[in-house]
Amino acid sequence: MIRWLFALLLVVVAAPAAAQDKRIAFTFDDAPRRAGAFLTQDERAERLIKALRKAGVRQAAFFVNPGHLVPSDPGAAARIDAYVAAGHVIANHSFSHPSLSDVTADAYLADIDAAERWLRGHPGYRALFRYPQLNEGRADKAKRDAVRAGLAARGLRNGYATVDGYDWALENVTVEAVKAGKAIDRKALRDLYVETHVGAAEYFDGLARATLGRSPIHVVLLHETDLAALYLPDLVKALRRKGWRVATVDEAYADPLAAEASRYDVRSSQGTLTEMLAWQKGLPSPRWYERNDPDVLGKLFAARVLKAPGK
């Protein structure tokens, strides 16, 4: 009964959304990323820049792991420069992508510092840090607070996300299928990617309205993937049909919601800021988008995207 009432509340709160402003900014984690299912890394960057331009995304953010700049990928730094030259910005996603739950606060901050040494001074740099895996220490509040204090001392703000559609999980099953020689219905893959992320935006906006009483300027977490390079214009077009407008990253992180990113206090700090604030306010489950589950996405992929043998 409680779950049904809360689902009804989300519908009621989100009902006037068409008459209210729904805005969303685009961010991409893990740059520079490994090769994907269909494109080389250089092809992907070129197509992603064109896709952002075609979709009317004037300013996205790429959260960079400088530890991924390795000799085996000599074009990586040039790709990051190309994103900035196209009008986008870059920010800190740690040097080597550690999970805060697995290391000490001091080691974690040292890894952030290593990334800052590469990032600071680069054109397009923003003093934002996004936690790898959105892991802020889970139940370890002492570690969480130590890192929060360390970020503040370094002048770094939380590069939170409010919308997440687990694009990395869809990318992973696509890569695995291609490696296995399985036939893929590319149109069905596009449709699943778009549908999943529009659903994520709508779900988390409803959760935000139920929690805050308003729709903030949302920040969607994507990754530097082939799927984004191929299908971003379709995603933005579908979002616009739902009444969304594209915001810049600078606009998003100027939203009053940004002040909440350093004040929430829940017993498990991992996930979107939307979810964590809903948890803090005491809203009942579900606070989690149903497709934020690799098993769920994997089953949808197998049923809708993989072609039957001989077809």
CATH, residue 148: 3.20.20.370
Cα–Cα distance measured from residue 278 to residue 287, given in angstroms and rounded to the nearest whole number: 7
**What pLDDT score does 20 carry?**
64
In a domain, 40, yes or no: yes
In a domain, 152, yes or no: yes
Residue-level length of the chain = 311
Residue that has been written with the tokens 């829940």 in this structure: 266
What is the tally of structural domains in the chain? 1
Cα–Cα distance measured from residue 44 to residue 30, given in angstroms and rounded to the nearest whole number: 14
**What pLDDT score does 19 carry?**
43
In a domain, 12, yes or no: no
135-138 and 269-270 as β-strands: parallel, antiparallel, unpaired? antiparallel
Please name the residues in contact with 238: beta carbons below 8 A apart, sequence gap of 6 or more.
194, 195, 198
Residue that has been written with the tokens 């006037």 in this structure: 16
3-state secondary structure of 240: helix
Q: What Cα–Cα distance (Å) separates residue 233 from each residue in 109, 229, 248?
A: 37, 9, 16
Angle at 226 between CA 186 and CA 124, to 5 degrees: 150
Whether residue 234 contacts residue 55, with contact meaning beta carbons closer than 8 Å, is answered with no
For the chain, the 3-state helix, strand and coil shares in percent, each to the nearest 5, are 55, 15, 35
AA identity, residue 237 = K
Cα–Cα distance measured from residue 88 to residue 79, given in angstroms and rounded to the nearest whole number: 12
Residue of 173, 177, 161, 204 whose CA lies nearest to 290: 204
**What pLDDT score does 310 carry?**
57
Cα–Cα distance measured from residue 149 to residue 151, given in angstroms and rounded to the nearest whole number: 5
Give the residue numbers spanning the domain of 76: 21-304
Cα–Cα distance measured from residue 164 to residue 287, given in angstroms and rounded to the nearest whole number: 12
| Residue 6 token pair | 């809360």
Angle at 221 between CA 219 and CA 224, to 5 degrees: 130
In a domain, 16, yes or no: no
Whether residue 101 contacts residue 268, with contact meaning beta carbons closer than 8 Å, is answered with no
Mean pLDDT by 10 residues, the chain (311 residues): 42 45 97 96 98 98 97 96 98 98 98 98 97 95 96 98 98 98 98 98 97 97 98 98 98 95 86 94 91 97 86 55
Per-chain mean pLDDT for the chain:
93
**What pLDDT score does 309 carry?**
67
In a domain, 14, yes or no: no
Whether residue 279 contacts residue 273, with contact meaning beta carbons closer than 8 Å, is answered with no
| Residue 280 token pair | 């803090």
Residue of 70, 74, 76 whose CA lies nearest to 44: 76
In a domain, 55, yes or no: yes
The pTM score is 0.92
In a domain, 224, yes or no: yes
Give all strands (DSSP E) within the chain, no chain letters.
22-31, 61-64, 89-92, 125-129, 135-138, 157-158, 163-164, 217-223, 244-246, 269-270
| Residue 227 token pair | 């799927």
**What pLDDT score does 187 carry?**
98
For the chain, the C-alpha Rg in angstroms (whole number) is: 19
